[in-house]
Amino acid sequence: MIKRICALACVTLAAAASQAAVIWYGGDFDGRNAAPNEINGLLNDARTYDDFILPAPATLSSVWSNNLMDTFTATTAQVEIRTGVSQGNGGTVVFSGTFAASVTATGRTGFGMNEMQVRVSGLNIALNEGNYYLSVTPVGNGAGRSFASSCAGANGVGMPLANGNSFVNSPDLVMFFESTSYLGPGNWDFSMGVETASGALDFFPTTLTPIRGNLVSGNLASLLASDNNRLVYRPGVVLSNQLAPVQYEVLGTAPQQTATTLRFRIESHASSSSISQKIEMYDYVAGAFVTIDTRNLTTTDNLIEAVISTNASRYIQAGTRQTRTRIEFRATGPTLGFPWESRVDLAMWRLNP
């Protein structure tokens, strides 16, 4: 069992605001293609599904899809959320219904059609953590076409992005949860999103950049779950004792631009209790890394939570919502064995709106 340790970068904690925030968005239309997504248009029923992950229980308040439309018009949309979908398998419906929808232009176009965002708001869908499949399908008036816009993760939020795990279900097209790989080579994902009313929003590293050290085992995927699949490093050669012999950065994309608190959570240990771990987060306003926690590790896993509670939005890059954290390890005293090892089982951020 892991222990939990909390380190405050600033002693005054701001109360979390109760407001909605995007927890998953597949990304903007990439101009490649589109998949049928309409009810009561030229097709009676054709729905496109894409997958999203909730890393923690959440209550969904809004869902949407971005669709290329010609003369198709809609004022309502059919929403479905499923689990366990795969090729030829519709899985299990956990939520469905037809609701009033707002339809607004995104300003993007493709294949001679305008892209419209079809959004259903005012929902109260409580879901546990897990992997889900979403469809938001506009309901028309018997004419025109609507297609879900393809995307490849640009300006996306959450996980997964550009993984190609999407499906079309349409009796009209004789397609029963058919993988969208039928569109051609590459990963096909679609421009949909989920907004949550929950307070805390978790997000995970999408990039791991080694700086110094010798990799023993593990990779980026090792940091995404507390599952004893660890990222393990041994010390590398340094030219100065001012440099840590193990150092790497992780980058992620925050689900929104602003935060009252931003926490970096890391589950880690070392092969010796004489190994120090330092966590630094990048302040995009100051243009520099800021140390938010330094401590000697134990030889069993601890979950350490380092908290930015003042001006937390400075650590989220304007526009891209990128967040950077640098982690380093060094010996602070004699170790029983050499080379020593740093072992990290989980790294993630938690944002309070």
Check residue 185 and give its pLDDT: 93
pLDDT band at 11 (very low <50, low <70, confident <90, very high): very low
For the chain, domain boundaries: 3-17+201-352, 21-196
Mean per-residue pLDDT, 188-193 = 98
Q: Which of 218, 238, 228, 255 is nearest to 328 (CA)?
A: 238
Check residue 202 and give its pLDDT: 82
DSSP 189-220: EE-EEEEE--S-EEE--SEEEEEESEEEE--G
160, pLDDT greater than 60: yes
Q: What pLDDT, in 10s, does the model give residues 214-235? A: 999 999 999 998 899 999 999 9
Helical ranges in 293-341 per DSSP H? none
What average pLDDT does the chain have?
91
158, pLDDT greater than 70: yes
Report d(CA 350, CA 343) in Å as an integer.
Answer: 21
Check residue 258 and give its pLDDT: 84
Q: What pLDDT, in 10s, does the model give residues 246-278? A: 999 999 998 878 888 999 999 999 999 999 999
3-17+201-352 adopts what CATH topology?
A: Jelly Rolls (2.60.120)
Beta bridge partners of 217: 232
Report d(CA 348, CA 75) in Å as an integer.
Answer: 39
CA 198 from chain center: how many Å? Answer: 15
pLDDT band at 13 (very low <50, low <70, confident <90, very high): very low
Q: What pTM did the predictor assign?
A: 0.58
Check residue 348 and give its pLDDT: 94
Amino acid at the residue 184: G
**Mean pLDDT lowest among 1-5, 64-68, 108-112:** 1-5
Check residue 141 and give its pLDDT: 95
Report d(CA 211, CA 93) in Å as an integer.
Answer: 45
Mean per-residue pLDDT, 189-206 = 85
The number of residues making up the chain comes to 353
Check residue 238 and give its pLDDT: 87
Return the half-sphere exposure (C-beta side, CA atoms, 13 A cut-off) of residue 253: 19
8, pLDDT greater than 80: no
Helical ranges in 108-153 per DSSP H? none
Check residue 198 and give its pLDDT: 56
Report d(CA 123, CA 59) in Å as an integer.
Answer: 9
pLDDT band at 27 (very low <50, low <70, confident <90, very high): very high
Distances (CA, A) of 59 to 51, 194, 270, 323: 17, 10, 37, 24
Check residue 201 and give its pLDDT: 78
DSSP, collapsed to helix, strand or coil, labels residue 83 as: strand
20, pLDDT greater than 70: no
